[in-house]
Amino acid sequence: MFKKMLASLISAAVLALSSSMLPTDALNTQPQEMTESEALAQVCAELGITDFDAYVAELAARMQSGADGDSTRDTCPFDPAYYIDIYTGGSSNGRIDAMDANYLLQFLTGQVNYPYVYNDLDPTHDYIIDRSDVQALLDCFSMVWIMEVYPDFVPGTHGVTNTTYPASSRTYERYSAQTGSLLGTYMLTPPTISATSMNLNVPNSNLPDRGIIGTDDRYLDYSKNGVAKLLYDSNNDGVMDGYVGTGFVVDDHVVATAAHVIKSTNGKKIKKIRLFNSNGTIAAEATAVEYHVSSAYSIYNASYSVYDYALITVSEDLSTYCCFDCGMILNNGLLNNTTQISVTGFPTQADTDGDGVLETVNTLTQNNEYTAIGFATNYFSGTNDAIVNFSHTADTSGNDSGSPIYHSSTFGSQSFSTVLGVHNGSIHYNYVYMNQNYGARMKPELFRFYFNNPNLNWTLS
């Protein structure tokens, strides 16, 4: 039974990996129709599983040794309260299988939006929707249906309908990185967030862009090779004059950053994306082609932080620098203040000797990548996943803007670094620093923008 099912599942792997997913302007709740073997092949490719047979054998060994928290076959480790049959396509069958795992991947890459409460997408129950949840669904499928260890397992049912996101549209602007001129606008129609104004002072020229909470605990760290330093050419003569902000690679030709990094450079055009080796030496400098920002950010500018995210396309292939996945932190992950996060970037200043004074650590030629560790917090009001800003307690300072706010985790034998937000700045209320920093929270809108956007161009004209 096992060998026959396994052979059937992997028989269409080549077909699945070669088939393309064509993006459309509308983001709906229906997944791409495919066979279970195609779904399994795509999940394995995304998780780096090259030999599914070996993966199942390793899973069995871990289960028998108790590495998964269950050393016997008597107690099923899959709680139906968290393991839900989430696939909503025509093949929904009341079980956990490769279709569910692939559907979650489609959610994380902006191809679909889940129609019910997002808690359904978190089988690991850590309040973060990420690829470890994809791994958990694949493990459940393997144990229940492939290995037939828990044949009587019945998954839970989905929660209530998600009414947080009414159907709407979001308009974006495209700019030439070479000339700075507006190339045009386009519309994406994922379900929109419910945005309300906030009584905050967000970073601008009148406020110090400093977000040190207590002592400065940041440390030098070049382990994330996908974190980039953004270089500008103020004279448009091909000579880089300085740097402004941080970005991070999210796709082969796409770098994520903050909108205010793009829009508030006072005519300085970001032309180069500098990346580093693990020893701090320069590994590459990619050429910026286009900037994309939300039109709403252009309207509200820095007084409205909901739309403070952007992307830069580059001509070079940066696939070897894609060290992050992207995921979504659920509201409970913000409310409990126990979800550890990190921010890695290129701040202009840091306290390097513990005297409470910030020294210059980054210039055009001085390259120091720093990581800070803190916790996700819920400074912004709200009781559900409509909360659109993401506050945290990791130390930051000027030019950390655009840095990834990410969570590191391990599930089974896999390790994940999952970006949960794009760092924007420090939180001030009535011009008093609130000992918290914030960024744009990763949501279905941003998944669509970064991963399923048919309007991206990375060819230099």
Q: Phi and psi for 444 in degrees, rounded to 5?
A: -55, -35
What is the pLDDT, as a whole number, of residue 164?
A: 58
Cα separations in angstroms, 18 against 38, 45, 416, 443, 444? 10, 11, 25, 28, 25
What is the pLDDT, as a whole number, of residue 88?
A: 72
What is the pLDDT, as a whole number, of residue 12?
A: 38
Domains of the chain: residue spans and CATH: 2-146 (no CATH), 170-451 (2.40.10.120)
The H-assigned helical ranges of 156-276 are 259-263
What is the pLDDT, as a whole number, of residue 407?
A: 96
Instruction: Look up the pTM and report it.
Output: 0.87
Please give the average pLDDT of every successive group of 10 residues along the chain, which has 461 residues.
42 35 46 80 92 87 61 68 82 82 92 87 94 94 85 84 62 92 87 36 46 89 96 88 94 96 77 95 96 81 70 96 92 84 95 90 95 89 59 92 95 89 85 84 90 94 80
The DSSP result for 3-17, as a single string, is HHHHHHHHTTHHHHH
Q: In whole angstroms, give the CA distance from residue 181 to residue 408.
A: 38
What is the pLDDT, as a whole number, of residue 138?
A: 94
What is the pLDDT, as a whole number, of residue 146?
A: 84
